[in-house]
Amino acid sequence: MSDTTRHDLHDAVIIGGGPAGLAAALMLDRTHRDVVVLDSGTYRNDPTDAMHNVLGFDGVAPAEFRAAAHRTLAAYETVGLRRATAHDVAPLDPASPADGFVVRTDDGDVAARRLLLATGVRDELPPTPGLERLFGTVAAHCPYCHGHEFSGTPVAILGAGPHAARVAGLIERIATRVVVLADGGDVDPQVRAALDARGVAVRPEKVLRLEPLTLPGGHPGARAVLDGAAAEELGGIMVAPTLHQAAPFATRLGLELRESGCVAVDAMARTSMPGVLAAGDLAHTADFPMPVSSVTAAMAAGQLAAASIDADLLAAPR
């Protein structure tokens, strides 16, 4: 692609068709920027049947949200939404990344002056048998996004790591009872003290498996089968997945990562490489102790990244 000319370049290419990428596309489209969105068709919230805590879309299936976003974008003319999987990305000129980037896809190459990564993260669940089947419905990672759906039922926190005390505090107003399933692991004394102060029971036994269960009243739930002890019948299970970049592009571009494993960005969504921005739950600013994983936050981050791209292009040589 070394013979690519400025006239061949789109203003921006967005990799990722989730909330962050779609919001960025709308912002840029409304300023008549020439933008291509590459959407692989796979999303972090695929396991769930409904989004929550999204104003105007609470309880709506993620696919319905994306369809509404696509209809909105279709009313504009300068954004091209392509169902294509990106396989690689590189600067057009390694010595001058801000000159543009080329993205190789299963539908041909796309070159653009600026690159926005909105590919999200992948959840690595604890290896508890039966958990994957329940994740996104009875099992969830965010009390803000899914905790309300467990109202009036007993809720377990899987694992007794540092997250357990905080999640217990968030979920105790919702659940009839909170229990921590230590899953045979050690419990840090500080975590134990915090749980004891809240009156949260800790079950030390190994969790052999999680089974789907229908609670009285028809509420979906799960049975935690414990090694050598009575099972726990639950209306919800909170888990703490390990996060991984859903795509390899941050590593291939040599972008700086934070300890969370997410791409380091500044307040304007800029990464450590000129011309590359990142938005959504794959990105992490120093102002937050953790990446913010919500649809609404991703949309806001995408809009901010789009404004940053537009400002950068305005300042760039024509």
Instruction: Note the pLDDT tens digit of each residue in 117-155.
Output: 999 999 999 999 999 999 999 999 999 989 999 999 999
Q: How many helices (H) and strands (E) does the chain have?
A: 8, 19
Q: What is the CATH number of the domain that holds 183?
A: 3.50.50.60
Q: Could you tell me the residue range of the domain that residue 141 belongs to?
A: 126-238
pLDDT (average), residues 59-66: 95
Q: Check residue 317 and give its pLDDT.
A: 77
Of 193, 209, 238, the residue that ends a domain is 238
**Mind listing the pLDDT tens digit for each residue in 160-217?**
998 999 999 999 999 999 999 999 999 999 999 999 999 999 999 999 999 999 998 8
Of 205, 238, 271, the residue that ends a domain is 238
Q: Check residue 2 and give its pLDDT.
A: 43
- Per the structure, the count of domains in the chain is 2
pLDDT (average), residues 90-108: 92
Q: Tell me, yes or no, whether 168 and 210 share the same domain.
A: yes
- Does residue 159 form part of some domain? yes
Q: Tell me, yes or no, whether 118 and 252 share the same domain.
A: yes
- Does residue 1 form part of some domain? no
- Tokens 């941050």 correspond to what residue? 250
Phi, psi of 102 (to 5 degrees): -120, 135
- Tokens 């703490």 correspond to what residue? 240
Hey, how many other C-beta atoms are within 10 angstroms of the C-beta on 87? 12
The pLDDT-based confidence of 4 (bands split at 50, 70, 90) is: low
Flag whether pLDDT at 21 surpasses 70: yes
**Which helix (H) or strand (E) is 128 found in, with range?**
none
Flag whether pLDDT at 5 surpasses 60: no
Which amino acid is present at 215? L
* pTM of the predicted structure, to 2 decimals: 0.92
- Does residue 28 form part of some domain? yes
Which amino acid is present at 208? L
Q: Tell me, yes or no, whether 52 and 190 share the same domain.
A: no
Q: Check residue 1 and give its pLDDT.
A: 39
Q: Which runs of consecutive H residues, i.e. helices, occur in 199-293? A: 249-252
Q: Check residue 8 and give its pLDDT.
A: 79
The pLDDT-based confidence of 24 (bands split at 50, 70, 90) is: very high
Percent of the chain as helix, strand, coil, to the nearest 5 = 25, 30, 45
Q: Tell me, yes or no, whether 74 and 170 share the same domain.
A: no
Of 184, 214, 238, the residue that ends a domain is 238
